[in-house]
């Protein structure tokens, strides 16, 4: 089943603490994963790469609300215990707990500032809302980049590819890379660039602003061009997309060919700051529990 939203986790989390013992978010996460019959894949799902799992993130927000409502209390880092107020609530428990219910409790501060506006119950945590908003902006930016790339000249597109590869650590200097691109005479190769700054290895490049899907014949022709140069590695870049047959082909040949489609090209440009400018930066912080540990 889908991972429950943080409000659906409130009552189960409070129930776990009903025994009056100290509990941890880690063990509670495992208990609730079993209770809700989540698959291993669902328990590993993360809010964003390198971040806590979605289940752990939602459980942490459920705890924050229950603590603000006075139903749970933090004991030490990552640990909590039910309060007398929590015990009283469980004597006649509601069918479920949510932000609106907690806000009706006397002296409750369970409603975070970010939820003051909408009347509907929030399903996502603030971190999930921030991440989904960021990804939406990123997707729109990628679409805008591709529109601009498709309208630029072939010469500018070659320059863009060089700028990107240099920013990724390839090619040595821009002068060296610029001389390499467009100098190769082979019909299937648009340029040659150093894989490392010493030039111990080189990459052969083909970069085209195709409109339709790039199929296996194009990729196979590029592989043949590499063979003519006795080259082992190549990068094929397109503003459109590759067919499944084309992607399967590069997995079956000895030569190492990397296929970069329009979506991946735009993502790399965003990640490496090519053709984009920073508008705003938000630093999300949390309490440093170690700082407050007294010896």
Residue-wise pLDDT for 254-285, tens only, equals 889 999 999 999 999 999 999 999 887 878 88
Instruction: Write down the pLDDT at residue 142.
Output: 92
Conformation bin of residue 37: beta by default, left when phi > 0, alpha when psi is -120 to 50: left
pLDDT score at 113 = 43
Is the CA virtual torsion 259, 262, 264, 268 positive or negative?
positive
Average pLDDT over residues 200-216: 86
Checking if the pLDDT of 108 tops 80, the result is no
pLDDT, tens digit (0-9, with 9 covering 90-100), for 175-194: 666 555 444 444 567 778 87
**Alpha helices in 213-271, H assignment, sequence order:** 216-228, 244-252, 262-271
Q: What's the gap between Cα 154 and its chain centre?
A: 32
Is residue 156 within 8 Å of residue 207, measured between CB atoms? no
Return the CA Rg of the chain: 27
- Sketch the domain layout of the chain as residue ranges: 10-111, 137-271
- The predicted pLDDT at position 246 comes to 95
Band (134; pLDDT cuts 50, 70, 90): confident
Instruction: From residue 68, give the alpha-carbon distance in Å to each of 71, 72, 288.
Output: 8, 8, 19
Residues in contact with 257: Cβ distance below 8 Å, sequence separation at least 6, in sequence order: 219, 222, 223, 226, 233, 234, 235, 236, 250
- Specify whether domain 137-271 bears CATH 3.40.50.300: no
| Average confidence (pLDDT) over 72-86 | 89
Would the pLDDT of 249 be above 70? yes
294 against 86, higher pLDDT? 86
Q: Are 34 and 27 in contact (CB under 8 A)?
A: no
């Amino acid at each position: 089943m889908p991972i429950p939203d943080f409000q659906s986790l409130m009552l189960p989390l409070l129930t776990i603490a009903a025994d009056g013992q100290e509990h941890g978010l880690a063990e509670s996460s495992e208990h609730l994963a079993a209770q809700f019959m989540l698959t291993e894949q669902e328990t590993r799902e993360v809010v964003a790469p390198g971040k806590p799992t979605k289940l752990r993130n939602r459980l942490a927000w459920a705890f924050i609300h229950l603590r603000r409502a006075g139903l749970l209390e933090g004991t030490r880092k990552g640990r909590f215990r039910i309060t007398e107020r929590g015990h009283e609530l469980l004597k006649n428990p509601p069918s479920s707990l949510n932000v609106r219910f907690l806000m009706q409790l006397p002296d409750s501060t369970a409603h975070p500032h970010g939820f003051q506006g909408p009347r509907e119950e929030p399903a996502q945590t603030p971190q999930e809302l921030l991440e989904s908003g960021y990804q939406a902006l990123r997707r729109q930016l990628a679409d805008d980049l591709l529109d601009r790339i498709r309208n630029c000249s072939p010469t500018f597109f070659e320059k863009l590819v060089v700028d990107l590869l240099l920013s990724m650590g390839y090619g040595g200097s821009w002068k060296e890379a610029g001389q390499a691109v467009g100098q190769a005479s082979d019909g299937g190769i648009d340029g040659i660039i150093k894989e490392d700054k010493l030039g111990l290895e080189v990459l052969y490049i083909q970069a085209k602003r195709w409109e339709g899907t790039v199929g296996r014949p194009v990729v196979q022709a590029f592989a043949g061009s590499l063979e003519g140069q006795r080259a082992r590695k190549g990068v094929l870049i397109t503003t459109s997309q590759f067919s499944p047959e084309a992607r399967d082909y590069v997995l079956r040949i000895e030569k190492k060919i990397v296929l970069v489609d329009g979506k991946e090209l735009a993502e790399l440009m965003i990640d490496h700051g090519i053709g984009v400018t920073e508008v705003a930066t938000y630093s999300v912080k949390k309490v440093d529990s170690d700082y407050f540990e007294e010896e």
